[in-house]
Amino acid sequence: MRYVIFAFLFFTTVLALSSCQDKKYTAVHIDLNGSHSHPSIEIEQMICLETNDEVLIGDIHKVRYHKGKYYVMDRLVSKNLFLFDSLGGFVSSLQRGRGPGEIENFNEFFIDEVNDLVLVYDYPETMHVYDLHLNYLYTDIHEDLRIRSAELLNSDTLIINWPTGNRDSLELYSLYVLSEKRYLTSFMHINDNLALMANIFPISIYNDRILLSKTFDNFLYTIKLKGPMELIQPRKEYFFDFGRLAITEQDLIAGFTPTFEKSHMGERIVAFYSIAENSDFISFSFTLSGEINFMIYSKETGKYYYSADLFNADLLPASRLNNALSPNRFLAFAQPENIIQFANLNNSYELPGGVSILDNPCLIIFSLVEN
């Protein structure tokens, strides 16, 4: 009997400790108004995207680099996908229309690095497939596929951020198998009053894990890409404490409009957009006072670097972060007027030749080293 009681107590203790272990996360306390240390920034490349009658980019929403080429998505203005070479020279773009391989409601794209294909999602149910030069190959119809933003986990599985994609679910994320045209699983439940609201590009895939966020939540979650995909579960990995700027439960009860008004007035911060990760850092964008900012967090030292500090110290032109490159490099983009202003203030930087304020945005590749 004593042995049974001891075994029971031991078992429950192990479960309790395991449960506590699962709940551990790293807390990061953010003070945007405090004094911050500056890292060393090296601008490795400034790639000004060619401007002509065929390629006029209003804004950049997603950039992917593969085999010496940049794939640049403008989802709202030009509503197109543009291909540039490593120096920013225009190569090709998609054709708009209703014919074979033409896009009508372009919403997202993915690069299948295994098969060297470009997948383009045309809302609400069309997936066009192209080669790496954007030559049209074929089209697949997915009747139940709804994508706001997503990433390709492998050549056949998407992780999708779209609350109403799996129509019978109030889960924020879904896994979708392209070849089988079906949802594999859904996870991260949200309140129904948030079902039409989600962050922009809240997914990062790096090595063997996914990093993602939840709507109006100060946590970043991780998923290990091990074992059966239908059994994956998100785990709280980081908690970013924005202090008085954080959106609270009371804000959500008050409704979306008052919450966003507080954000535009600088009373609340809305994170996380464009999450990215490399071997040394995690980065994300956020809005405050109507402006898009970014934060780079060091996984090793716990320090964080605020975009406004980097701009004010003339370490970078005013820009928006788009992606992380290994091991400590990042991809950002800036409007040409900000590039020109930066060059005028920074004597050590030589302005790329022929840059005009009427040109397309410039891509910036920079590395960050902590002091």
Between CA 230 and CA 325 the distance in angstroms is 29
Domain span at residue 185 reads 62-199
Residue 218 lies in a domain: no
Give the integer Cα–Cα distance in Å for 2 and 284.
54
Whether 75 maps to a domain, the answer reads: yes
Work out whether strand 80-85 and strand 90-93 pair parallel, antiparallel, or are unpaired: antiparallel
Q: What is the pLDDT of residue 198?
A: 59
**What percentage of the chain exceeds 90 in pLDDT?**
57
Q: Yes or no: say if 70 and 47 are a contact pair by the CB < 8 Å rule.
A: yes
Q: Does position 350 have pLDDT exceeding 90, yes or no? A: no
Answer yes or no: is pLDDT of 102 > 50: yes
Confidence (pLDDT) at 68: 94
C-alpha closest to that of 55 among 83, 96, 86: 83
Is 1 among the domain residues? no
* pLDDT of res. 9: 35
* pLDDT mean across residues, the chain: 86
Residue 88 in any domain: the answer is yes
pTM recorded for the entire structure: 0.88
Whether residue 130 lies inside any domain: the answer is yes
Answer for the pair 256, 191: CB distance below 8 angstroms, yes or no: no
Q: Where would I find the beta strands (DSSP E) of 75-193?
A: 80-85, 90-93, 106-112, 117-122, 126-130, 136-141, 149-152, 157-161, 171-177, 182-189
Tokens 């139940």 label which residue? 144
296: Cα separation from own chain's centroid: 13
Reduce the DSSP state of residue 14 to 3 states and report it. helix
CATH classification at residue 75: 2.120.10.30
Backbone Cα Rg of the chain: 22
What does the pLDDT look like over 198-237, one tens digit per residue? 567 789 999 889 999 987 888 999 998 887 888 888 999 9
Total domains in the fold of the chain: 1
Give the separation between CA 209 and CA 226, rounded to whole angstroms.
9
Q: What is the DSSP letter of 52?
A: B
Question: Once rounded to an integer, what is the mean pLDDT over residues 274-280?
Answer: 94
pLDDT tier for residue 19 given thresholds of 50, 70 and 90: very low
10 within a domain of the structure (yes/no): no
- HSE on the CB side for 59, CA within 13 Å? 6
Does residue 121 lie within any of the structural domains? yes
Average pLDDT estimate for 345-353: 74
In a domain, 185, yes or no: yes
Look at residue 140 and tell me whether its pLDDT is greater than 50.
yes
